[in-house]
Structure 1
Amino acid sequence: MSYFSSFILLFFCIIYLTVISHAINNDFSVELIHRDSYKSPLYDPSQTKFQLILNAVHRSINRANYMNKEFSTTGNKFKSSLTADSDGEYLMNYSVGTPPFNVYGFFDTGSNLMWVQCKPCNICYNQTSPIFNPSKSSSYQNILCSSRTCKSVEATSCSYDRDACKYTVDYGRGTKTQGDLSVETLTLNFTSGSIVSFPKIVIGCGYTNTLSWEYNGQSSGVVGFGKGPTSFIKQLDSLIDGKFSYCLNDNELNLSSKLNFGDAAIVSGDNVLSSPMINMIGNYQKDYYYLNLKAFSVGNKRIKFRGFKNKGINASTDTILVDSGTPVTIFPHHFYHRLESAVKKVVKLKRFKDDSGSYSLCYNMTSHQPKFPILTAHFNGADVKLDSNGVFHQLYERVKCLGFRPNNDGLAILGSKALLNYLVGYDLKKNIISFKPTDCTKY
């Protein structure tokens, strides 16, 4: 063997060992991109800050409406919290296939299956970035109808002429994805600079993907982080020991956010608060993340929480869904109005009427920074004092609004904006969600 050949072999051995070492170390992070960031394929420079804020509110409303309708639904289709008008807040950039093909998927704790649009399309929505072609990937494999994976996954059928397992994800209101269930290699760019591939990840390769609306710059698909067996987080379970965490920035400073796995996801140190997750029953509810919410405090005023009552749900009525894809926090209308009333009694600023109807309670800010009350979410075992900027959203330069919305159907959702400047950790083995005050702009 020549010196040059030996050098090349040594080089690739080092690369391989580096990849394996990082995987075994169970300690890695990736970047999350806000949908409105200039780094995002959905970035639209023509949108004003006001329009972006209203869009976030409307996505939250639509997402909550859909989740209410599907909350107690059982059936033979995947159910997801993504809706036709609410496709997520944060994008995860990764590569699929061999050689690696770059895609963007919405990071979503309210979904399970990971899927991408694929060529050749029967019907594909408008995606400005190139669409993945599995025929050009040497690592792509269809899952067979007879396989245990196909039989164990909901919403599958078979194409017996070519022995391929088919999937369907129905988001409602004319939005769905259909295609082949497959295994493929996924490659992540770690924030440490390493590039690591994960073989044989189950994904949906969507050939028929319809939306009830169209606009340029659609993402390639969805990265499900629910608790179901097909979610990305569950497929990495043996490697990351059921742990992931995130520290989310909104789009004010165009900063990226960080998504952590395994040992890197452990939330520890001073001021960490943890609450046990509520285990639900039913095809839809059991795969997502719920906490017991006992009360909310506005300053020293404590308001007892009472939420939904749905047949077939194995939980008390004081349950709230923690959802990365819903920006604005949603409360049952009867509780919201009590909370709003308590805020009105404390805040003495002049009221502002939001003609868009997006916010119910807004204030004109004075030249001096107003002192808004501290709002505290009292979870089981964790009293989390929410960041003022995550609770009171800036609508205009001198206008701030209470960033919560009433929901007539009763479901409560803790939105991503409410957890501004918190490191949020999920431990599926201990069955807890942890919160630690953190400056996410510096994390």
Structure 2
Amino acid sequence: MYTRPATFASHFSPSTKLERAAGADMSILRLSTVLAVLLPSFWTAATAVRSSTLLLARSHSLPPPNTGAPLTAWAASLAAQSAADVTRVAMLAAVVPAKAKPHSKGRSFVPIAPGRQILSIPNYVARARLGTPPQTLLVAIDPSNDAAWIPCSACVGCAPKSSPSFAPTDSPTYRPVRCGSPQCAQVPGSASCPGGLGASCAFNLSYGSSTFQAVLGQDALALEGGAVVSSYTFGCLRVVTGGSVPPQGLLGFGRGPLSFLSQTKDTYGSVFSYCLPSYKSSNFSGTLRLGPAGQPRRIKTTPLLYNRHRPTLYYVDMVGIRVGGRAVAVPASALASFDPATGTGGTIVDAGTMFTRLSLPVYAAVRDAFRRKVRAPVSAPLGGFDTCYNVTGGGVRVPSVTFAFAGGAGAAVTLPEENVMIHSSSGGVACLAMAAGPSAGVNAGLNVVASMQQQNHRVLFDVANGRVGFSRELCTA
């Protein structure tokens, strides 16, 4: 198992409680988080939206390169993450929210940090404040989800007592959402209203291998340094069974009516972006930027597509892939947009999946083209990756990989070596950080542009103007 250097651990020792609160698991089979807040906290009114960039820190269960950790431990970490990605992609098939309409403007920068990926739990967490006076919480950020739920005090089966939870009785601005209200009607599935229209809106849902019971409520919410949403609607968790529910709570940034994006459309105009740090760093900063102000002016964009069968997901049209500057021969049908009749196929951008997954014919073509360009013996497969090389002493030249999206030549994103290869902790092995998607089922034709390939890029989701953009940016402090 990889152990943090003593200097790193001592520098961030005050974050131990937050690490537990974020649900960090120091097992080599899980990615873990340490959220270290080194700048002052802000609690602002919606009329005074301000920006804030905070330093975050990660403790790697997946060892960074050249740390000397055993190759077997590194391979086990990759295998566990690869398995989690498979489950994540399967989960995306069940995402069925509604589309929201954009408005207005505003800006905020929110700190984000990598988190565990257990089934469909997203990889990044942020600090939020809920209620009056504000109660500090950690929330998981998931761009491919519409859910909004918070663990509440006295919840049975929620996170340990060391993890922050919300106490509605301590906030005079909290109010339950009643049955018969528009918000109650937006809850996925069917809400339970045994007490009639005046009763609290209660509901039961499944999430991964878990089930939970919650009551819909409203209170003032703000992400770190952001504007206050005076009546944010969320599920107040009361009973949880199973281990799939994020212990920190969840803020979905999908396009359904209860997502953070939709509930803040009048403040942030249905626009957000994030910049994910490289897996190679122990100390890093990553940001979630809310609103149209402050977004990159020079950015490569491609149209955002709407799939009525999976309306919360961010679909784009990938039209080609190049390896080492040369177009890969891929069947046109394999890169085609999703099927309008069934919603299957197509390409999505998802930060909750770690390694890019390409449909079988696309991956096979890219892998073979990559191997031809490298011109070095392929080592034995490791951690779920089938294209690995012995890089001891150098000598392996890694070609660039370019994803071409609809929108002309300007919509092509060329990935440097650090987004293409993942290096072992021992420094002796490196693997192509992509894999094939499922061979059968509803996701057999789906391509997922994942977080490894997004690292050190500003990824823009401009729902208001129907576009997704990519801009190279150093996200590591």
Per the shorter chain, which TM-score range? 0.7 to 0.9
TM-score, structure 1 as length reference: 0.80
Structure-2 residue corresponding to 1:372: 398
Q: Matched residues in 2 for 1:150 and 1:258: separation?
A: 32
What per-residue deviation string (whole Å, max 9, x for no partner) do you get for residues 343-387 of structure 1?
11111233221344x211111114236321110001101111013
Q: SS at 1:61's partner residue?
A: helix
2:213 aligned with 1:151: no
Flag the 1:167–1:267 CA change in 2: closer, same or farther, 3 A: farther
Q: CA deviation at 1:423?
A: 0.8
Deviations for 1:271-326, whole angstroms, at most 9, x for unmatched residues? x21000111112xx0112000011111113323351586673468x5x21111111
1:377-416 correspondence to structure 2 within 5 Å: 377-381=403-407, 382-396=411-425, 397-407=427-437, 408=439, 409-416=444-451
* Number of equivalences: 394
**1:279-428 aligned within 5 A:** 279-282=306-309, 285-303=310-328, 304=330, 306-307=334-335, 312-313=341-342, 317=345, 319-356=346-383, 358-368=384-394, 370-381=396-407, 382-396=411-425, 397-407=427-437, 408=439, 409-428=444-463
Q: 1:222 aligns with which of 250, 271, 276?
A: 250
More strand by percentage: 1
Q: Percent identity?
A: 23
CA displacement at 1:220 relative to structure 2: 1.5
Indicate conservation of the 8 Å contact 1:32/1:91, yes or no.
Answer: no
Structure-2 separation of matches of 1:432 and 1:153? 27
Paired residue type of 1:114? A
| Whole-angstrom distance in 1 between the partners of 2:50 and 2:343 | 35
Q: Distance in 2 between matches of 1:372 and 1:49?
A: 21
Question: What secondary structure is seen at the aligned counterpart in 2 of 1:423?
Answer: strand
Q: 1:241 aligns with which of 240, 253, 269?
A: 269
Counterparts of residues 20-419 of structure 1 (less than 5 Å): 20=45, 23-24=46-47, 28-29=51-52, 31=54, 36=59, 52-68=77-93, 70=94, 85-126=119-160, 128-161=162-195, 163-172=199-208, 174-190=209-225, 196-212=227-243, 219-254=247-282, 255-269=284-298, 272-282=299-309, 285-303=310-328, 304=330, 306-307=334-335, 312-313=341-342, 317=345, 319-356=346-383, 358-368=384-394, 370-381=396-407, 382-396=411-425, 397-407=427-437, 408=439, 409-419=444-454
User: What secondary structure is seen at the aligned counterpart in 2 of 1:390?
Assistant: helix
When the two structures are superposed, what TM-score results if normalisation uses the length of structure 2? 0.75
Between stretches 141-150 and 56-65, larger displacement belongs to: 56-65
CA distance in 2, matches of 1:86, 1:31: 26
The structure-2 alpha-carbon separation of the partners of 1:53 and 1:96, relative to structure 1 and needing over 3 Å to count, comes to: farther
Aligned mates of 1:201, 1:74 — CA distance in 2: 18
Deviation at 1:414, TM superposition (A): 0.8
RMSD between aligned residues: 3.1
Offset at residue 34 of structure 1 (A):
7.2
Letter in 2 for 1:373: P
Q: Residues 26 and 262 of structure 1 are in contact (CA less than 8 Å); yes or no, is this contact kept in structure 2?
A: no
Q: In the aligned structure 2, how far is the partner of 1:178 from the partner of 1:151?
A: 16
